[in-house]
C-alpha cells in the first residue's frame, strides 16, 4: 500500500473489532505490529470516500477510548507490565509512539480530558515539525 490510513490499538480484542468493521465494509487492510510498544496497526488505502472515512473515524474514536481504558486497567494490575505511550501523527502520514511514565500519564488524564491532551500533544508535534522562531506575542 502506498498512501495509507493507519489505526493503532494496544489490545487485540479491539483491533479485531475494527478489523471486522473494515471487512464488513469490503475494505482491504494490512495488519502490522508497531515496533516500539508492540501495538497493533491496521492500515487501509487512503482512497476511502469521505462518508465512510467519517464513519471509520467515529468508530476508531470509540474503540480507542475503550483501548485506553483497558490499557489503564492493565497499568493498575500489579502483575502486568506498566507502560504507556502517546500516539503521534506526523506530517506526511507517518506515525510514532512516545513512551511515557504511566503514573505521569494517569495524573495528567485525571485533570484534563483525552481530547484536551491530544490537542496539546498535536500542537507540540506541529511546532517541532514546522518551527516558528517569531516571538509568541506576534503570532
Per-residue 3-state assignment (H helix, E strand, C coil) for 32-51: EECCCCCCEEEEEECCCCHH
Inter-residue contact 120 to 98 (CB < 8 Å): no
* pLDDT band per the 50, 70, 90 thresholds, residue 83: low
Range scoring the smallest mean pLDDT among 36-40, 82-86, 97-101:
82-86
Q: What torsion do the CA atoms of 122, 60, 102, 10 make, to the nearest 10 degrees? A: -130
pLDDT exceeds cutoff 70 at 106: yes
In the chain, what are the domain boundaries? 4-138
Highest mean pLDDT (candidates 10-14, 27-31, 67-71, 95-99): 27-31
Domain 4-138 is in which class? alpha beta
Mean pLDDT of 54-66: 89
pLDDT exceeds cutoff 80 at 74: no
Amino acid at each position: 500500500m502506498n498512501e495509507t490510513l493507519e489505526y493503532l490499538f494496544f489490545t487485540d480484542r479491539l483491533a479485531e473489532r475494527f478489523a471486522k468493521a473494515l471487512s464488513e465494509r469490503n475494505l482491504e487492510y494490512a495488519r502490522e505490529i508497531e515496533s516500539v510498544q508492540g501495538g497493533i496497526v491496521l492500515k487501509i488505502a487512503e482512497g476511502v470516500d469521505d462518508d465512510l472515512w467519517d464513519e471509520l473515524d467515529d468508530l476508531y474514536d470509540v474503540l480507542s477510548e475503550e483501548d485506553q481504558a483497558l490499557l489503564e486497567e492493565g497499568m493498575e494490575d500489579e502483575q502486568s507490565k506498566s507502560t504507556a505511550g502517546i500516539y503521534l501523527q506526523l506530517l506526511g502520514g507517518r506515525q510514532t509512539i512516545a513512551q511515557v511514565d504511566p503514573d505521569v500519564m494517569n495524573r495528567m488524564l485525571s485533570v484534563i480530558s483525552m481530547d484536551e491532551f491530544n490537542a496539546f500533544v498535536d500542537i507540540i508535534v506541529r511546532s517541532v515539525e514546522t518551527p516558528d522562531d517569531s516571538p509568541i506575542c506576534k503570532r
